[in-house]
Amino acid sequence: MSFNTSSLAFDDIQGAFDRALAAPKGIRIKCSSRGEAIVLRSRFNYFRKMNRKENKEIYTSDQPMWGKSVYDKLVLRVPLKGTEGDNTLFIEPRSVEDLNIEDIE
């Protein structure tokens, strides 16, 4: 699948990413089908890839944002097929609380 290479074609994606960053637990986008949710997730990932590439041009290699995207902090998730909400794209922040971490004694 090929997407438009202009970042202007992704204003909706950037707006949704920004909303997800601002929401403490992230956001969800309900789609008409699971397939639509998967294609939408691909558009988000493609935009994030383009954003990383643009940041390589904006920043120098010694700067923290060089080759990175602020949206890398977010996880894009579509539930398993056949489960509740399998037509929904969840955009959620990564968190250490989501890891099952135990201290070694």
Does residue 98 form part of some domain? no
Does residue 37 form part of some domain? yes
3-state SS track over 29-86? EECCCHHHHHHHHHHHHHHHHHHHHHHHHHCCCCCCCCCCCHHHHEEEECCCCCCCCC
Does residue 85 form part of some domain? yes
The answer on pLDDT for 11 being more than 80 is: yes
Does residue 84 form part of some domain? yes
Does residue 11 form part of some domain? no
pLDDT in tens, 14-32: 999 999 999 999 999 999 9
Domain of 36?
21-93
| Structural domain total, the chain | 1
Does residue 104 form part of some domain? no
Does residue 1 form part of some domain? no
- pLDDT, position 37: 98
Does residue 71 form part of some domain? yes
